Amino acid sequence: MGILDFSFNKKQKKQSDEQHCEPLLYCELEKNISYMKSRFGGSADFTVRRLLLSDSTDAAIITMEGMSNKESIALSITNPIMEFNFKKHSENKIDLIESRVLSASEIVRVIDFSQAFTLVMSGFTLFLVDGCDIALAIGVQGFSFRGISESETDVVQRGSREGFSEPLRINMTLVRRRLKTPDLRFESMQIGTDTKTDIALCYLDSAVSKDILDELKRRLKAVPLKNILAAGYLVPFLDRKGDLSLFSGVGVTERPDTVCGKISEGRIAVLIDGTPSVLIVPYLFVENFQTIDDYSNRAYFASLTRILKYIAFFVAVFTPGMYVAVACYNPELFPQGILNKVASSVAQTPFSVFTEILLIHFIYEIMREAGLRLPRPLGHAVSIVGALVLGETAVSSGLIGAPTLMVVAITAISSYVIPDLYPAVAVLRISFIVAGGVAGLFGITLLFCAVLINMCAKKSFGVPYMSPLSPFSFFGMRDTIIRAGWRVLAKRQSLIQNQKGSEAESEEE
């Protein structure tokens, strides 16, 4: 079974649950060690360090190689236990070690193998004593991870240079540092039957909607995946069931300051162990055009850049389709000078305008994927080759017209102004090209109405996705197309659950 086979039916789920139902710990040390060795199947990173206590009682320290800090194990566990005189005490050894011997700050009592496996594979050190059916899991994690650095996807000119990292606890700390209020809550969960990925729901208790929080928990508990290896695995399960929209009601960010701003408005952030991407729900369409720089600059400049983003979105989606529709069905709509250029270009190229647009977009998407996946030096080489092929050779050879190439270039540049919407923009752009080539302006109008109706009908956890545009809210428009000054924004806080048309939403599985 490959790593891409994530889903399984109810029968497979029942078999998986039975397979992962682990027994309670035994009193005999050797039976505990033997069972754990058999479950790991002789894995090379499973290590057992046997100890002999001062009263001649056998004990063992179990770790996963590379997951725990060896120096912390020696200082916090091994040395204190070996130096302690157990002959002078008659208490239960586990209670004695937990209360009087160990100096670690995080100690968890373990009673079954399922909990033991989860904690050991999370970096805890498991301490077992012969004659005790309870073990101690000591938090001495020491695995390697990428340090805190600037996010490469959410780049800002003014603001923090800190971005989320992969470890969950570090990401929680980055949020706590910025919101020093006891209202900030972190709720831990585990999802994924195989990976048992730790996630944390982050929200402000004084601002969050309890209905949205309960619905989010219900959807997360119902996720049927075996493996959770990236934030994108959860997005389809957090969107509304049966949602056929190209747009998602779940936001993604790698910036702690963005998360703090969102949860201050009543939203909930989902932090996932092993990935720097944090999910935000509910998420609205207008938020794709907002960045942290908008609130660092003066209101007039932030409003200008936001208007440019909206214009770029419409240019990226509609320009190629409109060009195809007008050139093929209504050329009289072109100004005389442009019409002469387009007619001359079409006469000199072997393909129709519709075929040219589709061909260039196909080549462009291939170049984009190659530039993203290749190492950076090779990525620059691909860009240079693409510029030569599309910009010089294709036009000079007469295969592609210059006006068509110009339309595609403007479209490509505009689509990068709003990177969060690029997947939806890419699909919509191709759809409008096909609609314009098949049915002209009438086809584009029909498709636009269908997309608009779909977006207006979409909800994210009961909140209308197009809020505050539809339903219209004058109060919400102060931070939508234009951005009001901080003196206006600070007068009254806007909470996501107060958007007009918001209601509790639940779906039957």
> Are 130 and 183 found together in one domain?
no
**Structural domain that includes position 199:** 168-283
What mean pLDDT is reported for the chain? Answer: 84
Check: CB of residue 257 under 8 Å from CB of residue 171: no
> Are 215 and 305 found together in one domain?
no
Which pLDDT score is estimated for 1? Answer: 34
Check: CB of residue 429 under 8 Å from CB of residue 361: yes
Angle at 270 between CA 219 and CA 420, to 5 degrees: 100
In a domain, 293, yes or no: no
> Are 304 and 271 found together in one domain?
no
Kind and range of the H or E run holding 61: strand 58-64
> Are 404 and 352 found together in one domain?
yes
> Are 337 and 443 found together in one domain?
yes
> Are 268 and 303 found together in one domain?
no
Query: What are the residues facing 197 on neighbouring strands?
Result: 191
Which pLDDT score is estimated for 504? Answer: 54
| Per-residue model confidence as pLDDT tens digits over 349-362 | 888 889 888 888 88
> Are 29 and 123 found together in one domain?
yes
DSSP-derived secondary structure for 484-507: --HHHHTTS---GGGSTT------
Tokens of 95: 């209670």
Tokens of 241: 């069931």
Owner of token pair 């209202």:
183
In a domain, 390, yes or no: yes
In a domain, 68, yes or no: yes
In a domain, 313, yes or no: yes
Strand residue runs (E) in 65-183: 107-110, 125-129, 135-138
Q: Mean pLDDT per 10-residue run, the chain (509 residues)? A: 39 42 87 91 88 89 87 87 84 86 86 90 90 90 75 77 87 91 91 88 92 93 89 90 86 92 92 92 92 87 93 94 92 87 82 87 81 67 61 71 85 89 92 93 95 92 90 86 85 74 57
Question: How many beta carbons lie within 10 A of that of residue 157, not counting itself?
Answer: 9
Which pLDDT score is estimated for 392? Answer: 66
- Asked whether the bond before 471 is cis by omega within 30 degrees of 0, the reply is yes
Closest CA to 500 of 478, 467, 465: 467
Measured between alpha carbons, how far is 342 from 336 in angstroms, rounded to an integer? 10
In a domain, 288, yes or no: no
Domains contained in the chain, number: 3
**For 240-246, which contacts have Cβ atoms below 8 Å and span 24 or more sequence positions?**
240/458, 240/459, 240/460, 240/505, 240/507, 241/507, 241/509, 242/507, 243/458, 244/454, 245/454, 245/455, 245/458, 245/465, 246/423, 246/424, 246/427, 246/428, 246/451
> Are 278 and 377 found together in one domain?
no
> Are 319 and 431 found together in one domain?
yes
> Are 266 and 354 found together in one domain?
no
219, 249, 283 - which closes a domain: 283
DSSP helix/strand/coil, 128: strand
258, 283, 308 - which closes a domain: 283
Check: CB of residue 425 under 8 Å from CB of residue 368: no
In a domain, 40, yes or no: yes
Longest Cα–Cα distance of the chain, Å, equals 103
The phi, psi pair for 459, rounded to 5°, reads: -130, 145
225, 249, 283 - which closes a domain: 283
**In one letter, which amino acid is 219?**
R
Measured between alpha carbons, how far is 343 from 354 in angstroms, rounded to an integer? 14
Closest CA to 130 of 69, 86, 84: 86
Angle at 296 between CA 464 and CA 422, to 5 degrees: 50
Owner of token pair 């779940």:
250
> Are 122 and 179 found together in one domain?
no
Which pLDDT score is estimated for 391? Answer: 65
CB-based contacts of 464: which residues, under 8 Å, 6+ apart?
A: 456, 458, 470, 471, 499, 500, 501, 502
In a domain, 509, yes or no: no
> Are 304 and 274 found together in one domain?
no
Which pLDDT score is estimated for 384? Answer: 60
The phi, psi pair for 199, rounded to 5°, reads: -130, 160
In a domain, 475, yes or no: no
